[in-house]
Structure 1
Amino acid sequence: MRKLTAVVLVAGATLVAGQAVAADLPYYPPVIEIPDVDTGYAGSFYLRGSAGLNMMWAKEVNHPTNLPATTTTFAIDEWGYGYSIGAGAGYETGTGLRFDVTADYLANDGMQATITGSNNLADGPHKLQLRSTVLLANAYYDFGFGNNYGYGAAGGAFGYVGAGAGVAFNDIITTGPGDPDVHGKSTSLAAAGMVGVGYDFGAVVADVGYRALYINRLENNATTNPYSINNNWVHEVRGTVRYRFN
C-alpha cells in the first residue's frame, strides 16, 4: 500500500512540474510550406529548322512588245515543282503565342508558259527556274486538342496557325526554244500563311504543316526579252523541328 501511494505521489508531482515547465517555454506555431502552383506557362527561346516540298503557280507572264506602252501577256499552263530548306530563331510566350524570324532557300523549276504568235520570242514552251532567299518575320498561335491531348506543361499534340511577312531575293533563269537562257534578279515583297499539327516532346517540338508563300513579283529587266510575273504562289508541305532553351 505504501509503494502504491508513493508511485501516485511521484506521478502527480511529475505532471505538475511538466506543466509548469511547458508554461515557461515560448510557443512556435508549425510552419507549413505550400509549393508554388505550376501552371505550365513559361516563356522560352528556340532554334528551328525546316525542310519541305513545293509547287508554284502564277496566272500569266508579261512580255513587253515592240511598243513600249503595251505588253503581251501569255498564260502560264504548267506548275513548277521544287523544295525549300530553312532555319530560324524565335521566342514562345507560354500562352500559345510564339514569334520567330526565318530564312529559307527556295528552289522551283518548270513553271511554264507556251508562247505563240510573239514578235520577240520563239514559239513553244518557255520554262522558269527560280532560286530565292526568303526572309520572314512570323507569328503563330498554338492550341491543344482537348483534355486528353492538352498542350501545356506536360506537352502533347497541338495544332497551330500563323502568318508572316518579309522579302524575297530572287534569281531567275528562263529557258525556251531557239533562245539563249535569260538570267535575271529581282527583290520582292513576300508573305506567308501557315497551318499544321505537331507534338511537344519537351525540349524538342516537331510539327508538319502547310505554308502558302506569296511572292509579289518576279522580274527580269534584261535588255533581251525582259518579262515580269506577278502574284506568284508557292504551296509547300514542310516539316519543322524546334529546340527550346529554357
Structure 2
Amino acid sequence: MFNLARKAFLTGIVATFAVPAFAADLALPPPVIEQPPIYEAPAPDYGGWYIRGDIDYHKPSWRGADYITYGPGTNSFTSGKLKGAFSLGAGVGYQINNHFRADLTADYWFKSDFEGHTVGSGCGGVPGTCTSNDSSSMSAWLLLANAYVDLGTWHGFTPYVGAGIGGAHIKWDTLHNSDTSGDYYHKGAKGWRFAYALMAGTSYCLTDRAKLDVGYRFSHIEGGRMFEESGVGVGPGFDDGFNVHEVRAGLRYSFGGPANGCYEPVQVVYEPQPEPLYTK
C-alpha cells in the first residue's frame, strides 16, 4: 500500500513539470518563412533594323592620269592635286546580334577641285617644251554594302571595325587646259567604277535607341576615264583612281531592340534569407 502511494506521488510530480514544458513546445511551432522569388533580369534584345545619316569631310589622294596624244603618243600629268570636300550619306541596316551588324549606304561627294600640270612641245608653233595648267572638279556617288564588328560596350561607348564593297559613280567636269598657245576644253567623263572601304570608329548611346557615330573611313576607287578627246589631237584621258581619307560623324536610330545595347535592364536578384536557428 505504501509503495502504491509513493508511485502515485512521483507520477504526479513528473506530470506537474512535464505539462508546462509540453505547453511551451506547443507555443513555439517551427517558423514558416516565405522566400521571395529569385528574379533574373532578361537578356537585352539586340536585334533589329536601324537607319543612319552621316556627314563627312573627305580628301582624295591623286594617283596620276594619262592621256592620248596623236603624234608623240601617250603622255602623263606631271602633277595633280584634288582638294578636300564634304559629303552627305544615308543608309539602312540590321543589327544581327550584340557583335555583328550590316548596312547599305549611299554617300554623295560634293565637288573636289582639281589642279594639275602637263608638259608638251611646240605649243603655239614655238619649238621646245611648254607647261600647261589644267583645272577641273570631280564629284561622286559611293554605294557600299558594309559589315561591322562591334567590340563591346563600356559606359555607352562601342568601338567597332568594318569593311565595305560596292561601286562609285565618278563625274568629272570639263577639263580646262591653258598654255602659251591658248585655252582648250575637254569634256569631262563619267561612269561607274569598283570601290571598297575599310573603317573604324566608336558609337555612343545618346538615348535608348539613338547613337552618335564618329569614325574614319578609307575608300579606294578604281581608275577610269577622266575626259574625252577635244578635237585638237589630245584625249581621251584616264585617271589612275583615288585613295580617299574620310572623317565621318553621324546618327543611327534603331527600330528593333533598345538601341542595340544602349539600354541595359537593371538586374534585381532576390537571395533567400537563411532560416533562423532556435535554441532550447
TM-score scaled by length of structure 2: 0.67
Task: Say whether the 8 Å CA contact 2:212–2:252 is kept in structure 1.
Answer: yes
Q: Which residue of 2 aligns with 1:123?
A: 131
1:57-96 → structure 2 map (5 Å cutoff) = 57-66=61-70, 70-96=73-99
The whole-number CA distance in structure 1 between the counterparts of 2:212 and 2:149 is: 15
Q: Is 1:56 matched with 2:60?
A: yes
Residue matched to 1:185 = 190
Aligned-pair Cα RMSD in Å: 2.8
* Structure 2 runs not aligned, ≥5 long: 1-18, 27-33, 125-129, 257-280
Contact 2:79–2:118, Cα closer than 8 Å, also in 1: no
1:136 — aligned with what? 144
Residue number among 36, 39, 48 corresponding to 1:44 in the alignment: 48
Counting aligned pairs with the same residue, the percent is 29
Moved more, 117-126 or 181-190: 117-126
Partner in structure 2 of residue 21 of structure 1: none
Secondary structure in 2 matching 1:116? strand
Q: Report the secondary structure of 1:56's partner residue.
A: strand
Structure in which a larger fraction of residues adopt strand:
1
Q: Which amino acid aligns with 2:177?
A: G
For 1:118 and 1:38, the matched residues in 2 are separated by: 77
Which structure has the bigger radius of gyration? 2
Q: Secondary structure at the match of 1:40?
A: coil
Match for 1:123: what amino acid?
T
Provide the rounded CA distance (Å) in 2 between the counterparts of 1:103 and 1:44: 20
Q: Which residue of 2 aligns with 1:234?
A: 244
Cα distance in 1 between the residues matched to 2:214 and 2:121: 44
Give TM-score scaled by structure 1 length. Answer: 0.75
The AA in structure 1 aligned to 2:251 is: V
> Aligned-pair distance for 1:106?
0.8
In 2, Cα distance between equivalents of 1:208 and 1:245? 20
Task: Measure the CA separation in 2 of the matches of 1:218 and 1:31.
Answer: 75
Distance 1:234 1:175, change over 3 A: farther
How far is the alpha carbon of 1:126 from its aligned partner?
1.4
Amino acid at match of 2:101: R
Shift of the alpha carbon at 1:182?
Answer: 2.3
- The whole-number CA distance in structure 1 between the counterparts of 2:39 and 2:94 is 28
Contact 2:99 2:152 survives alignment (8 Å): no
1:89-238 equivalences in 2 (<5 Å): 89-117=92-120, 123-144=131-152, 149-150=154-155, 156-173=156-173, 174-177=175-178, 178-201=183-206, 202-220=208-226, 222-224=228-230, 225-238=235-248
- Alpha-carbon offset, residue 231 of structure 1: 3.0
Deviation at 1:139, TM superposition (A): 0.7
Q: 2:31 aligns to what?
A: none
Separation in 1 of the partners of 2:123 and 2:239? 17
Residue 272 (structure 2) aligns with: none
Over 3 Å counting, the alpha-carbon distance change for 1:77 and 1:53 in structure 2 is: same
Q: What residue ranges of structure 1 are gaps of 5+ in the alignment? A: 1-7, 16-29, 151-155
Distance 1:54 1:61, change over 3 A: same
Give the number of the structure with larger relative contact order, counting CA–CA contacts within 8 Å between residues 6 or more apart.
2
SS in 2 for 1:94: coil
User: Aligned residue pairs: how many?
Assistant: 211
Judged with a 3 Å threshold, the aligned counterparts in structure 2 of structure 1 residues 72 and 46 are, in CA distance, closer, same or farther, namely same
Q: Displacement of 1:31 after TM fit?
A: 10
Relative to structure 1, is the Cα distance of residues 203 and 109 closer, same or farther in structure 2, using a 3 angstrom cutoff? Answer: same
User: After TM superposition, which residue ranges in structure 1, 4 or more long, deviate above 6 angstroms?
Assistant: 119-122
For 1:95-115, what per-residue CA distance to the aligned partner results, in whole angstroms no more than 9, with x for missing partners?
221100001111232233211
